[in-house]
Chains A and B, each alone.
Chain A
């Protein structure tokens, strides 16, 4: 299929470990978004890329969170020195154009559990 894929699907980390979460957007999609979804809550915006440019990172909860999309395609969300409060599902979404009205296509998410 040609949907958004994310890896790994599940990640267990010990507190203090660094983790890297990968997102492969739909080919040709210009815009890429990361969201954090806590259990029983709606997704919360983390950051937004237009091609390789990170245009909005206002939702990143701390400087331990870092995202990149160096070639305007695959993106990686990195969390350093993980804490228990980082446990959540991390969702990636992509959209074709740059208008916010474009439909966002979501991946299945990576469930991160920090022990």
Chain B
């Protein structure tokens, strides 16, 4: 079956630090890849996505590149802010079907 491995948190950073959250997946076929974010007290929301190999998704200063050869979709941001404190979920989607498989989530805490 499909599975997602996400680096465990919590990750604690200072403002303006560089953030990387690793995500690797195993999936039959070639999935689309998503990062969802859950801010404190809010529901899950889409952060970015990539639908084919070598695509780069970007939003709010975050980026992730679909690496088919390493089955990875690592999330990066060059300079984090306190408002980026949240839980981040990597989620591949099977090429056939509408089922998202979520990783366990990585909690990020950015301190001023």
Contact = CB atoms under 8 A, between A and B. Distances in A.
Contacts, number: 63
A90 interface: no
Query: Which secondary structure dominates chain A's binding surface?
Result: loop
A62 interface: no
Given A56-B98, A56-B99, A91-B44, A101 B104 contact: no
Contact of B45 (A33, A35, A101, A106): A106
Question: For the side of the interface on A, what is the size category?
Answer: 20 to 34
Interface in B78-104: 89, 91, 93-94, 97-104
Interface in A66-106: 91, 93, 98-101, 103-106
20 contacts: A31-B98, A33-B100, A40-B104, A41-B104, A41-B105, A42-B6, A42-B91, A42-B103, A42-B104, A42-B105, A43-B89, A44-B102, A48-B99, A59-B99, A91-B44, A100-B99, A101-B51, A104-B100, A106-B44, A108-B43
Interface of B: 4, 6, 32, 36, 42-46, 49, 51, 89, 91, 93-94, 97-105
